[in-house]
Chains A and B, each alone.
Chain A
Amino acid sequence: MSTRETTVNTHCQTCPAYQNAKLHRLGIDVSNFDYAIALAGNPNTGKSTLFNAMTGLRQHVGNWTGKTVARAEGAYNFNGKNYKVVDLPGTYSLLSTSQDEEIARDFILFGQPNATVVVVDATRLERNLNLTLQILEITDRVVVALNLIDEAERHGLQIDVRALSKQLGVPVVPMVARKGVGLEDLLGNIEAVITGQYVTRPHRVKHYDPRLEKAISQLATQLEDQFPGLPNTRWVALRLLDGDPSIEQAVREGTLGELSGVGRSDEVLMLQTA
């Protein structure tokens, strides 16, 4: 996205004074936000480090899997708009989830953030793209934060960021979250995706058979009747056809509607009106 000359700005971008020009970290003050952002990604890719860089908070960062068990919230102001950031537990997949991974899945699916930042580990790109593609299936407002790019370079890996962005159809921002490198670029891209300045074309796998397509739309219609206002009914229908027991149970017990915030959580309702 950036048209600035990178050669001139290499030093500027790592300098806190440069970033502070547009970014104001608001810590835990999540009141009066204009937009809500979700931070998703595989375990141990630097989501919490990025969260801290964005919000100025000191959410516990550790080099082990499963550290963030519940979601943490913080906020920042960029270009005059307030953003609420939700740091989610790491997850490998939206399809086969353990209990703590369900928090992440439910928020991305039904919390309807204005944008989802997928934090990927540049040194383990192949493994990380599984979740990225799954998220692109359900939302087109995605920015990929290609974190740990310094480590990747140290391992002799060179990633063609432009090609990756073109193939995924969403912005890809190389980052070193620990040092704040790429932060401004990320925040700018989040803004551009939310405002529609950057029109995403998310990569989606097209393999559906007409019979499957028919079954999905039939089920989706029934789900819409049962749970009015529920987002991503097609995704839920596909999971039911897949035989996902946790989704099956949520439908049977009628708790699926709760996830979408229909008539329940005020917070999520605010997200929808924001």
Chain B
Amino acid sequence: MRLDELQKGQTGVVKALHITGPNRRRLMDLGILPGTHIEVEMKSPLGDPVAYRVRGAVIALRQVQAREIEITLDVPSTEAAENVHS
């Protein structure tokens, strides 16, 4: 799934950045690399941009940027069994 589909309270792990050039570099400098845990911190009233928690800091990303970040959803351990296919 893509980062912009992540809902509040969910966490994911970055799988790939489908961006090239300076924007990719920027995301990596902000600490967003494959393997990074990422969490939705808050959403703005219109849902764009969204603030994410990354390595201890809050980073706001626009939907067009978040769309290019591929993630895998972290399944909370208690509900792991039910949500395997989601």
Interface residue? B45 (CB, 8 A)? no
A residues 70-99 touching B (CB-CB < 8 Å): 92-93, 95-96
Question: Judging by beta carbons under 8 Å apart, are A96 and B22 in contact?
Answer: yes
**Across-interface contacts of A124 in B (CB, < 8 A):** 55-57
**Across-interface contacts of B55 in A (CB, < 8 A):** 124, 126-127
**Across-interface contacts of A126 in B (CB, < 8 A):** 31, 55-56
Shortest distance between the CB of A244 and any CB in chain B (Å): 7
Residue of A nearest to B21 (CB): A243
Contact with B along A228-252 (1 / 0, CB 8 A): 0000000000000011110000000
Shortest distance between the CB of A242 and any CB in chain B (Å): 8
**Across-interface contacts of B21 in A (CB, < 8 A):** 243
Residue of A nearest to B30 (CB): A92
* Residue tally, chain A, CB below 8 Å to B: 13
For A130, give its contact among B22, B29, B56 (CB under 8 Å): B29
A residues 43-92 touching B (CB-CB < 8 Å): 92
**Across-interface contacts of A123 in B (CB, < 8 A):** 56
- Beyond A124-B56, A126-B55, whether A93 also contacts B22 by CB under 8 A is no
Question: Judging by beta carbons under 8 Å apart, are A130 and B31 in contact?
Answer: yes
Interface residue? B25 (CB, 8 A)? yes
A residues 122-174 touching B (CB-CB < 8 Å): 123-124, 126-127, 130
For A95, give its contact among B25, B31, B56, B57 (CB under 8 Å): B25
Q: How far is the CA of A93 from the CA of B24 in the complex (A)?
A: 13
Contact with A along B39-60 (1 / 0, CB 8 A): 0000000000000000111000
**Across-interface contacts of B25 in A (CB, < 8 A):** 93, 95-96, 242
Interface residue? B26 (CB, 8 A)? yes
For A244, give its contact among B22, B31, B56, B57 (CB under 8 Å): B22
Shortest distance between the CB of B64 and any CB in chain A (Å): 17
Question: Judging by beta carbons under 8 Å apart, are A93 and B29 in contact?
Answer: yes
Residue of A nearest to B55 (CB): A127
Residue of A nearest to B58 (CB): A65
Q: How far is the CA of A62 from the CA of B57 in the complex (A)?
A: 17
Shortest distance between the CB of B35 and any CB in chain A (Å): 12
Question: Judging by beta carbons under 8 Å apart, are B56 and A127 in contact?
Answer: yes
**Across-interface contacts of A96 in B (CB, < 8 A):** 22, 25-26, 29
Shortest distance between the CB of A67 and any CB in chain B (Å): 16
10 more contacts with CB within 8 A, not counting A126-B31, A126-B55, A130-B31, are A92-B29, A93-B25, A96-B26, A96-B29, A127-B55, A127-B56, A130-B29, A243-B22, A244-B22, A245-B22
- Top 8 closest pairs, chain A to chain B, by CB: A93-B29, A96-B26, A124-B56, A96-B25, A127-B55, A92-B29, A127-B31, A96-B29
